[in-house]
Structure formats: C-alpha cells, structure tokens
Amino acid sequence: MKSLTERDGLLLKNWYIAALSREVGKKPIQRTLYDTALVLFRNNDGKVSCLNDRCLHRHAFLSKGEVFKGELVCPYHGWLYDHTGQVSCVPSEGPESKPSQNLKLKSFPCVEQDGVIWVWMGPSDNNTDVPCPATPPWRFPEALNPDWISYFMITDFENEVTNLAENFVDVPHTIFVHRGWFRDEKAVPKKVPTVVETKNGAVTVTYFQEEDEFSWGAKMLLNPGGHPMTHTDQFIMPNLTRVDYNFGSKNGFIINSQISPVSTLKSRVYTYIAYKIPLFGMLFKPIISFYTRKVIEQDTVIMKNQGDCLRSDFRTTFRSTEADEVHKEIERLRHYGVKGDSKLMSYEGKKEISFWI
C-alpha cells in the first residue's frame, strides 16, 4: 500500500499546523507531519525553528536533546545545530573549534500566527512548482475581537483528512453519534432544505432551518433567547472546516478544525472554538470546553471505527445519497489537490438538496 505522503501527492505543498505556540517553550518538541519527524524549538530571540528530527551524525532524535543559548544540542554526542539547521559545533573536534565539515540539517519554513505554528512541508527551493507563500492564508475568525472568547483544543484521530473533514461538516450523524448531546433526542424528524455551493477551492453549505434542534443543555448555553438560527458549514482546501452558528445578532458560535496529516490513518486536529455570549461569556468557558471536548471524543470513536474498517480494505467505493452532496464535493476538491489540477480553483457547482434529521 502507498504511504500517505505518496497518496496525497501535491497536497503536501501547503501550510499545516505543527503545534500551538504555547507548546513550544524552553524544551525542543517533536511533531510529525506527513510521516516526517520534526523538531521545533525557539532560538534566543524567541523565534521558532523547525528542523528534521534526525541528527546527521548517528540519527538520534534531536527533540530528546536540549536548547543551549538558542541552539539545539544532540543528546548523543552533543553536536550543536543553529536555528537554520547548520552544524555549529562538533565537541569531539574540540569544544571551541569550528566544525571541519559544512553540514546542514533540512529545515522547514515555519510561521507563528494566531497562536499556532504553521510549517511548510514541500520543498522551499525555487525548483518547486508550488512556491511557499510568505505566510499561511488562514486567519482564525474573531481571534482579535474582544467580544468573542476563543480557545484551541488538540485531538488525535485515527483517520485521514478527507474523512475527518466530511465528519466535521456532516449533519445526519449528529443524531446518532452525539445522541442527546448535540441534537435534541426528542425532536421530531424534520426535512432541512440546504444549498451546497462549490467555488474557489471551497464548499459552502447553507442550511435553511430557522429553529435549532440543539439539546436542552446546548440551547441553554448558546441560544437561551431562542433566537432564529443561521447555520453554515464550509470546507476550505486543503484541510479546514468551518462551522458557524448565529442566533439573532448577539450570540454566535464558530468552530474551525485544522486537520494536520500525520501518517496513514493518523491526524492531529487543532480545533479553534470562538463564541459570543453577551455578559459574563468568560464564565461559561469551563462548561463550553467540557461540552466541546465531549462532542469531539464521540467523533474520535466513530472516526476510529471507520479508520479501522478502511485499514482492512483501503479501497473506497462509498455509496452516497442527497445528504452526502457536501462529502462528494470535498472528495472532488481533495482529488484535484492531489493531482495539482487547475480545476481546483476554477470548478464551480451549486445544488439545492434536502435531507431529514
């Protein structure tokens, strides 16, 4: 079977989140993206570096070493690497001497923005057909707006980006996987008219359902006034889902899920939650954190179930109904992305559908 890196083709050449800013402190840490072990650390100026986590000498993990005066020390024989990956000292050649060979570890462009560390995994030289943009395009919505409260959660899933993105914007599963937690258990089944629109490498789903079907607890937190609800879901290439609920003009709830590909059937998801509740919004953070953690854990179980099933037979011949229109569009865009097909940005489609929840 091909590795994830081989199967994902040109999708590799994108910005992916490797860690949250708060995770990179005084000690080096290891993270994996596309089967590649990376070591992240901060230099003397506090700037984050990302290098291949494999010492050039005898291949020890550098992330098990330490940072000394802003440089990375290998725990085995003490070779020192500067923030660019250049070997700056080989202790066995004399503690003060310059290394006799010019040795440089592969480094990866990284950018710290909105509290996360983004890494560019594709080649950064001029020969690549997908040059590394200066900064990641995605900015987390309302992160700087004092009326909104936001936080990140990190969750490991035993499944891959396409299936996870589909799960994160899938409505019909909520009455089964999140029974009683998300949707009201006693709600009478309703038909939901929906528009699925694809353009500019993104799929937007608009649900025409004025009344929410949240469980009692969720309703008390997010929409105590029972205001009309607007609900849109988005998938944005290569790996982001965005879910927006607005209740009247005062209350809102946003979920951004950035899915980082780790290896075959393994991903790490950075979930950004932002909410607006007038008055004392901060007081609700422990409850909302507990609630969102519980809902995500329920998704990890069903995503592991699907991942285990796919591991036993990787061929996908998914059968779809009208409710799966968004899923088919996600698969279409991801497929274009793998091949580097120009249709990724030029393809446009719009469908009016309906399904029951």
The upper half-sphere exposure of residue 204, i.e. CA atoms within 13 Å in the direction of its Cβ, equals 9
Q: What share of the chain is helix, strand, coil (3-state, %, to 5)?
A: 25, 35, 40
Cis peptide before 193 (omega within 30 of 0): no
Helix (H, G, I), strand (E, B) or coil at 68: strand
How far apart, in whole angstroms, are the C-alpha atoms of residue 108 and residue 156?
Answer: 23
Q: Does 55 bind ligand FES (CB under 6 A)?
A: yes
**Least distance to ligand FES, CB of residue 206, Å:** 54
**Which H or E run contains 247?**
strand 240-247
Nearer to Fe ion, 82 or 299 (CB): 299
Q: Tell me which stretch binds Fe ion (CB under 5 A): 197-205, 280-288, 292-300, 348-356.
A: 292-300
Nearer to ligand FES, 63 or 260 (CB): 63
Nearer to Fe ion, 299 or 325 (CB): 299
Nearer to Fe ion, 213 or 299 (CB): 299
**Least distance to Fe ion, CB of residue 305, Å:** 13
CB-based contact 194:352 (threshold 8 Å): yes
Residue 105 interface partner, choices Fe ion, ligand FES, none, CB cut-off 5-8 Å depending on type: none
Nearer to ligand FES, 86 or 232 (CB): 86
End-to-end CA distance of the chain: 37
57 to 116, contacts with ligand FES by CB under 6 A?
Answer: 57-58, 60, 74, 76-79
> Quick one: how far is CA 299 from the chain centroid?
15
Residue 58 interface partner, choices Fe ion, ligand FES, none, CB cut-off 5-8 Å depending on type: ligand FES
**Least distance to ligand FES, CB of residue 50, Å:** 18
Dihedral sign, CA of 200, 262, 143, 218? positive
Q: Does 299 bind Fe ion (CB under 5 A)?
A: yes
Q: Does 294 bind ligand FES (CB under 6 A)?
A: no
**Least distance to ligand FES, CB of residue 139, Å:** 38
Residue, CB closest to Fe ion: 299
CB atoms within 10 A of CB 244: 16
Residue 299 interface partner, choices Fe ion, ligand FES, none, CB cut-off 5-8 Å depending on type: Fe ion
**Least distance to Fe ion, CB of residue 295, Å:** 6
Give the DSSP per-residue string, 146-197. Answer: TTSEEEEEEEEESS-HHHHHHHHT-STTHHHHTBTTTB-TTPPP-EEEEEEE
Number of residues binding to ligand FES, judged by CB under 6 A:
9
Write out the residues near Fe ion by the rule CB under 5 A: 299
In the complex, the residues that contact ligand FES under the rule CB under 6 A are: 55, 57-58, 60, 74, 76-79
